[in-house]
Amino acid sequence: MEHGQATTGTARSRRIYGLETEYGLTSRPRGQRSVGPEEIARQMFRGMIAWGRSSNVFLGNGSRIYLDVGSHPEYATAECDDLYDLVAHDAVGNRLVEDLRRLATDQLAQDGTPVEIFLFKNNVDSAGNSYGCHENYLVDRSVDINRYYRLILPFLVSRQLIAGAGHLSRTRLYERPDRGGDGPAVFQLSQRADQMWDTVSSATTRSRPMINTRDEPHGDPELYRRLHVIVGDSSMSQTTTLLKVGATELVLRLAEARIELPDLTLDNPNLAIRQISRDLTGRTPVELANGRTTTGLEIQSAYLQAVLDHQDRLGPMQPGLLRALELWQRTLTAIGAGDLDTLSRDIDWAIKHRLISRYADRHGLAPDSPRLAQLDLAYHDIADGRGLFRLLDAHGEVSRVVDDAAIERALTTPPPTRARLRGAFIDAARAAGVDYLADWMHLRINRGNQTRALTLRDPFQHTDERVDAMIAALDEPLW
Ligand SMILES: Nc1ncnc2c1ncn2[C@@H]1O[C@H](COP(=O)(O)OP(=O)(O)OP(=O)(O)O)[C@@H](O)[C@H]1O
Ligand SMILES: [Mg+2]
């Protein structure tokens, strides 16, 4: 049980998690000339390209930062096996992207095209285009993947109640957000709900599914799979991140422990996710495949109850997971009691909802006021001293999971997983000035026509004599 494997009917006691975040980018010219987002993104990555000779770079803390086609910088955390580590490493992404924003701002001003650059950790731009925050969970190959899918889908459809980012939206039910958007403004729980057109599939964009099935485990394919959840909203709040991933972890454990729940298969998940998103009370009826009717709140409560009833079968829980469980209970109780104020330090949509309602009341604004839409967007601005969530955080008005010192550490220190081997290798190879390559599973050194390469198949393994030997060899003149 060294790596917490699930044997028949036993929940995994250790799991690898990773979060990938795409950031939205816009700008406002400060001089005569405007600069397009692609050009700004290129400027942001100029230093990175000089550092790593690519716009896809693995860093010493084990993470990956990159610029895909288009203009959405993306940060993927290193493999974490602890929720506190994951929250800290996720926060590092904001810092790094914010640093790149500052560099690009200075560079463009020097080049005579001053612009103000904005980066948003959200999931939809003003034209209704969406970009993601993907969650990765290691699961066992030996467990039938359909067991996970079946159990997790109703949970994911209703998870927005506890982990949505909130969204003031004018998209009508079942309308495509990138077309139209001239309906009455409604405060929704989630930014992603209206973007989902499928449940489980291998496509990522065209018919965006809630779970992507591409089989790319980034580990030993005989032992592991990587469950790729793409339905979730990006989280500003650390507590929301903890709850989003922590509650999902608990549901995966329910599947592994073979705990049966009442049948919650939804009649139409694409419709249900939209209906649930449009009701902050969690009480809108949604239809089940068996003809019964339920609600988002009831679905969430059924999963929570199963966890509480079978906690003894779900394996040991780290402090982060226990805190997530406590937060899950508290959140559902508050929604049940209609007491949203008690969530306004912890859950993104409730924090944002309070901010927007208070502002609207104070200034007598109707829901479709552009000033409120602006507020919605500014909540996700990652700039220190400008972003609204950042300001609430600076004033101690929202809860924290990790402090600044932990984030600072995560900037340079990989979590104690395979990421530690990658990080040590990258740091050593850079210090030695050799030509190297690193990705999730591979390490390689090139010297003249000689190559040394290693494959790291076990994402849990954080010590490896082969890597030690490779690092030692960096200082040797010849192999
Ligand atoms: N075996 C694993 N199980 C679960 N998560 C993993 C595993 N190995 C790596 N990860 C995490 O998966 C994420 C991979 O991110 P990345 O964006 O590079 O991959 P991808 O989604 O396969 O690729 P792309 O975004 O280019 O399509 C990272 O956050 C990483 O920490
Ligand atoms: Mg990805």
DSSP per-residue letters across 225-247: EEEEE--PPP-SSHHHHHHHHHH
Ligand 2 geometric centre to CA of 265 (Å): 28
- pLDDT per residue, tens digit, the chain (479 aa), is 446 665 568 899 999 999 999 999 999 999 999 999 999 999 999 988 888 888 889 999 999 999 987 789 999 999 999 999 999 999 999 999 999 999 999 999 999 999 999 999 999 998 888 999 999 999 999 999 999 999 999 999 999 999 999 999 999 999 999 887 889 999 999 999 999 999 999 876 667 899 999 999 999 999 999 999 999 999 999 999 999 999 999 999 999 999 999 999 999 999 999 999 999 999 999 999 999 999 999 999 999 999 999 999 999 999 999 999 999 999 999 999 999 999 999 999 999 999 999 999 999 999 999 999 999 999 999 999 999 999 999 999 999 999 999 999 999 999 999 999 999 999 999 999 999 999 999 999 998 888 999 999 999 999 999 999 999 999 887 65
Q: What angle do CA 415, 54, 424 make, to 5 degrees?
A: 30
Domain coordinates in residue numbering, the chain: 17-409, 416-473
Q: Which ligand is nearest to the CA of 218?
A: 1
Closest CA to 320 of 250, 398, 255, 252: 250
Task: Classify strands 133-140 and 450-455 as parallel, antiparallel or unpaired.
Answer: unpaired
DSSP-H helix ranges across 135-189: 145-158, 160-163
In this structure, are strands 198-201 and 209-212 parallel, antiparallel, or unpaired? parallel
82 assigned to active site: no
Ligand (nearest to CA of 58): 1
Testing ligand 1's pocket by substitution, the residue of 83, 136, 215 carrying the most ligand atoms inside 8 A of its CB is 136
| pLDDT score for 95 | 97
Neighbours of ion ligand 2 (CB under 5 A): 20
| CA atoms within 13 A of residue 174's CA, in its CB half-sphere | 5
- In this prediction the pTM is 0.97
State the Cα–Cα distance between residues 417 and 82, nearest whole angstrom. Answer: 10
Cα 215–Cα 218–Cα 224 angle in degrees, nearest 5: 70
CATH code assigned to 17-409: 3.30.590
How many residues can be counted in the chain?
Answer: 479
C-alpha dihedral over 29, 34, 36, 41, to 10 degrees?
-50
Pick the closest to residue 184 from 28, 371, 367, 373 (CA basis).
367
Q: Tell me, what's the ipTM?
A: 0.98
Residue 411 and residue 402: Cα distance in Å, rounded? Answer: 13
- Cα first-last separation, the chain: 38
